[in-house]
Amino acid sequence: MDSPPNPDEEIICQCFQVSDATIKAHIKNENLKEIEQVTEACGAGGGCQSCHMLIQLFIDQHHNPGKPPEPKNDDKEGGVKKRGFFSKLFQRY
């Protein structure tokens, strides 16, 4: 583990008390591309995994600066088109 985070830094990984600055520094200095690599480097993401979304965001921001993240679902036309459990039960024919 790294040294305790600066109080000005935001703790991203609550399980291992790893700050945004620590995670970003490891991504930058070691050119990390996978969440698992970040976990090996500083421990962040090795517990409940609720911080994985933010770690992935930091990785994406480092490797694609200025580029907005790709949409993960079908909201390209502006509408929300999530397909949940009920959409499987009530399919349109």
Residue 48 makes contact with ligand FES by CB under 6 A? yes
Please check whether residue 59 is in contact with residue 38, taking contact to mean a CB–CB distance below 8 angstroms.
yes
Segment 11-40, which members bind ligand FES (CB under 6 A)? 13-15
Provide, rounded to whole angstroms, the least separation between the CB of residue 5 and ligand FES. Answer: 13
Amino acid identity of residue 49, one-letter, is Q
Beta bridge partners of 19: 11
DSSP code, position 25: H
Residue 49 engages ligand FES in binding (rule: CB under 6 A): yes
Residues in Cβ contact with 35 at an 8 Å cutoff, skipping those fewer than 6 apart: 45, 52, 55, 56, 59
Q: Name the minimum Å distance from CB 89 to ligand FES.
A: 33
By C-beta, is 15 or 60 nearer to ligand FES? 15
Binding site residues, ligand FES, CB under 6 A: 13-15, 44-51
